[in-house]
């Protein structure tokens, strides 16, 4: 019995044609009309409420700003579950749930560690404030900036001013953090937010200090990125 | 004849098994895809009906242009006048007409876009999924803001906290926080309509009006009257649903094309199996013809084998779809835009019958040529070629 090779191809074409003619009516697109909104999925209520970790919005620019010789960074996740007692003693209060895990961006200069950058979301008076704190290799603050805030003009000007943010440089976990003495006097407008920023920055340095003393191993280490020159 | 066909299929078990696996895979993919399409359509239909609104009144003009303008934080050139709301509320078919004024304020440097929505109390029956966190209350004054769950979490706000809009230079008090609903409401800031109109310099203007009719059957009667409002156009529930389906249409087309390809390949596999079987049995078929079997009987035998093969394969494919459908749904759901909360898979009897029909149809087509070739065998030639 002889077969013709074209028979297979003819069969495939036939099946495809039948399939397409069957499918085409099911594929005709509906009209393009604007969409407004949808009701919720059934499991919505069961989802946990969380603001998520504070993002680092401009990593390259921040590396250049605080560590001019930086070549890149890696992201470390530190978990402080076993250091709660030490943290409580150093902080003078119970650590918050956000302080249980810290993402530390280790900034590299070639093969050396130049320092670290940590971002924290702070409860400002009129909305969330995102703090970027740069820490040098010795554990002292190298600088700070606010990558996002929602404060009225007067408060915003003070909080982002050099007199306030500039005073962070050189502060350590064990330094005094007194407004009016170690930091400029806080104006009424922005006082609540400024105190929240000071507390978050101080707590961050304490967390890093505790991690260093406890030789805490990161839960994970990931390549962050390079600083382009 | 059927027993003989079965026996012939079991002669080459590996080849038959592989062919069956191919047919089963193709049919299961097809079944899942059709069930997904039907489930998505049914789920959307149910949820849209549950939204409590039958139509939206929006400004005339290209809706995509309007969306782009809102996203870029520009003022809309087109909006509805407040008189449209009065007209809609005055229509005898309209039970609820809820005004909306929406504006997006992007701040790229801060990585955020504030989505403000001006509403009034009429919107509450149209948002049955809204649940407020403890301590919340409806706007007590014009300087109150209600936050979606995600907006509140991101801004670290609680009921009673202060909340500032730098763009509008306006301070609010958080009067309510919504429970998470999984909708766009989660990330929005809701303020009284008049406040939004003042903030965005749109006095007396609206972005849209959501409408619930006294009876959904009145839609056709009410639409022309509402369409007559100057500068307004009606978008009905059916049209909204069309847009939802449009969103998944492209992906569905692609996957259906893959499914058709899989069915075609499985058909080719059956074709190949049958042709190889016929070639191997040339001598045997020659003997059958020599002892009196008619051409039609030989044709029927080969076609029967092909049909048996694809029938079993299709049945296995359907069982596979029934068993793995939930896993497929779990994998597909995260990538499905606006997925309804109900199951996305509707493996109905109709769909299963369709898949069985497609499988058997492909088997019949695949068996035709080998059966026809076998039926044309000359007994003497066949016996000589096989040296029997």
- pLDDT tens digits, one per residue of B214-262: 887 788 888 889 888 888 888 776 676 666 666 666 667 777 788 888 8
Between A130 and B250, whose confidence is greater? A130
- pLDDT tens digits, one per residue of B336-369: 655 666 677 778 888 888 888 988 898 888 888 8
The partner residue sitting opposite B373, judged by closest CB among A3, A41, A125, is: A3
Between A13 and B137, whose confidence is greater? B137
pLDDT at residue B295, as a whole number: 87
Q: What are phi and psi of B100, to 5 degrees?
A: -135, 140
pLDDT at residue B331, as a whole number: 75
A34 and B243 in contact by Cβ < 8 A? yes
d(CA A73, CA A110): 10
Q: Does A110 touch chain B (CB under 8 A)?
A: no
B271 and A152 in contact by Cβ < 8 A? no
Give contacts of A45 with chain B, Cβ < 8 Å: 131, 179-180
Give contacts of A18 with chain B, Cβ < 8 Å: 361, 365
Which helix (H) or strand (E) segment holds residue B20: the answer is helix B13-50
A112–chain B nearest CA distance, Å: 31
Average pLDDT, chain B: 83
A57-61, A113-117, B290-294, B303-307: which range is least confident on average?
Answer: B290-294
d(CA B174, CA A128): 14
CA end-to-end span of chain B, whole Å? 24
Read off the pLDDT band of A4 (50, 70, 90).
low
Which of B287, B302, B369 is best to mutate for the A interface (most A CBs within 10 A)? B369
Give the mean model confidence (pLDDT) for residues A166-180: 93
What lies within 8 Å, CB to CB, of B218 at 6+ separation is B93
B341 and A126 in contact by Cβ < 8 A? no
The partner residue sitting opposite A1, judged by closest CB among B64, B157, B279, is: B279
pLDDT at residue A77, as a whole number: 93
B90–chain A nearest CA distance, Å: 23
pLDDT at residue A20, as a whole number: 62
Read off the pLDDT band of B151 (50, 70, 90).
very high
Please check whether residue B345 is in contact with residue B31, taking contact to mean a CB–CB distance below 8 angstroms: no
A55 and B272 in contact by Cβ < 8 A? no
pLDDT at B278 over 80: yes
A96–chain B nearest CA distance, Å: 14
d(CA B52, CA B212): 6
The partner residue sitting opposite A39, judged by closest CB among B51, B156, B180, is: B51
Give contacts of A57 with chain B, Cβ < 8 Å: 110-111
A16-20, B60-64, B71-75, B299-303: which range is least confident on average?
Answer: B71-75
d(CA B79, CA B240): 19
What lies within 8 Å, CB to CB, of B184 at 6+ separation is A37, A38, B115
Read off the pLDDT band of B88 (50, 70, 90).
very high
List strand residue ranges (DSSP E) for B69-111, in order.
80-81, 94-107
d(CA A151, CA A148): 10
A42 and B66 in contact by Cβ < 8 A? no
Rg (CA), chain B: 32
pLDDT at residue A38, as a whole number: 44
Between B5 and B63, whose confidence is greater? B5
Q: Does A3 touch chain B (CB under 8 A)?
A: yes
Q: Classify burial at A90, counting beta carbons within 10 Å of its beta carbon; exposed 0-12, middle 13-18, buried 19 or more.
A: buried
pLDDT at B208 over 90: no
B271 and A8 in contact by Cβ < 8 A? yes
B243: helix, strand or coil: helix
B164 and A122 in contact by Cβ < 8 A? no
Complex ipTM over 0.85: no
pLDDT at residue A19, as a whole number: 66
Listing DSSP states for B151-178 in one string gives HHHHTT--TT-EEEETTTTEEEEEEEEB
Average pLDDT, chain A: 84
% of chain A exceeding 70 in pLDDT: 77
B186: helix, strand or coil: helix
A81–chain B nearest CA distance, Å: 23
B10–chain A nearest CA distance, Å: 22
Give the mean model confidence (pLDDT) for residues B199-228: 86
B63 and A147 in contact by Cβ < 8 A? no
B122–chain A nearest CA distance, Å: 16
pLDDT at residue A34, as a whole number: 38
> For residue B156, is it left (φ>0), alpha (ψ between -120 and 50) or beta?
left
């Amino acid at each position: 019995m002889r077969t013709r090779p074209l028979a297979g191809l003819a069969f495939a074409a036939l099946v495809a044609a039948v399939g397409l003619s069957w499918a085409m009516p099911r594929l005709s697109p509906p009209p393009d009309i604007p969409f407004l909104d949808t009701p919720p999925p059934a499991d919505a209520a069961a989802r946990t409420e969380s603001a998520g970790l504070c993002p680092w919005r401009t990593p390259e620019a921040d590396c250049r700003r605080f560590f001019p010789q930086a070549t890149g960074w890696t992201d470390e996740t530190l978990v402080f579950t076993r250091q709660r007692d030490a943290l409580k003693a150093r902080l003078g209060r119970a650590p918050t749930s956000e302080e249980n895990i810290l993402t530390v961006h280790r900034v590299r200069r070639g093969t050396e560690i130049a320092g670290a950058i940590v971002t924290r979301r702070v409860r400002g008076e009129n909305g969330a404030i995102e703090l970027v704190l740069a820490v040098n290799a010795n554990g002292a603050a190298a600088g700070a900036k606010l990558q996002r805030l929602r404060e009225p003009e007067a408060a915003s000007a003070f909080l982002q001013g050099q007199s306030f943010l500039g005073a962070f440089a050189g502060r350590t976990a064990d330094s005094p953090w007194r407004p009016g003495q170690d930091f400029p006097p806080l104006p009424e407008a922005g006082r609540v937010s400024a105190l929240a920023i000071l507390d978050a920055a101080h707590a961050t340095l304490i967390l890093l200090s505790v991690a260093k003393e406890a030789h805490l191993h990161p839960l994970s280490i990931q390549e962050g990125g390079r600083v382009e020159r | 004849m059927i027993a003989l066909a079965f026996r012939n299929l079991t002669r080459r078990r590996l080849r038959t098994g592989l062919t069956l696996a191919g047919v089963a895979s193709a049919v299961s993919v097809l079944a899942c895809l059709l069930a997904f399409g039907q489930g998505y359509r049914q789920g959307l239909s149910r949820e849209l009906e549950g939204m409590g609104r039958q139509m939206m009144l929006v400004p005339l003009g290209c809706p995509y242009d309007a969306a782009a303008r809102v996203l870029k934080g520009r003022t809309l050139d087109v909006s509805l006048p407040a008189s449209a709301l009065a007209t809609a509320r005055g229509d005898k078919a309209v039970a609820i007409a809820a005004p909306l004024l929406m504006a997006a304020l992007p701040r790229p440097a801060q990585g955020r876009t504030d989505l403000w929505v001006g509403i009034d109390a009429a919107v509450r029956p149209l948002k049955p999924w809204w649940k407020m966190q403890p301590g919340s209350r409806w706007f007590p004054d014009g300087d109150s803001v209600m936050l979606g769950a995600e907006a509140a979490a991101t801004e670290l706000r609680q009921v009673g906290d202060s909340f500032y809009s730098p763009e509008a230079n306006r301070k609010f008090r958080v009067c309510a926080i919504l429970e998470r609903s999984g909708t766009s409401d989660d990330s929005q800031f809701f303020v009284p309509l008049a406040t939004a109109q003042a903030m965005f310099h749109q006095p007396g203007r609206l972005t849209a009006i959501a409408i619930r009719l006294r009876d959904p059957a009145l839609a056709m009667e009410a639409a022309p009257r509402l369409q007559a409002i100057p500068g307004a156009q009606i978008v009905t529930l059916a049209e909204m649903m069309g847009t939802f389906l449009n969103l998944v249409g492209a992906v569905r087309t692609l996957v259906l094309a893959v499914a058709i390809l899989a069915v075609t390949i499985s058909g080719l596999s059956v074709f190949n199996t049958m042709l190889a079987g016929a070639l191997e049995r040339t001598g045997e078929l020659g003997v059958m013809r020599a002892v009196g079997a008619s051409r039609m009987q030989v044709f029927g035998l080969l076609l029967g084998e092909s049909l048996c093969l694809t029938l079993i394969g299709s049945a296995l494919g359907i069982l596979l779809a029934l068993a793995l459908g939930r896993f497929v749904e779990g994998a597909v759901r995260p990538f499905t835009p606006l997925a309804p909360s109900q199951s996305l898979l509707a493996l109905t009897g109709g769909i299963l019958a369709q898949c069985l029909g497609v499988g058997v149809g492909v088997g019949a087509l695949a068996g035709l040529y080998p059966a026809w070739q076998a039926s044309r065998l000359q007994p003497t030639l066949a016996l000589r070629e096989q040296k029997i």
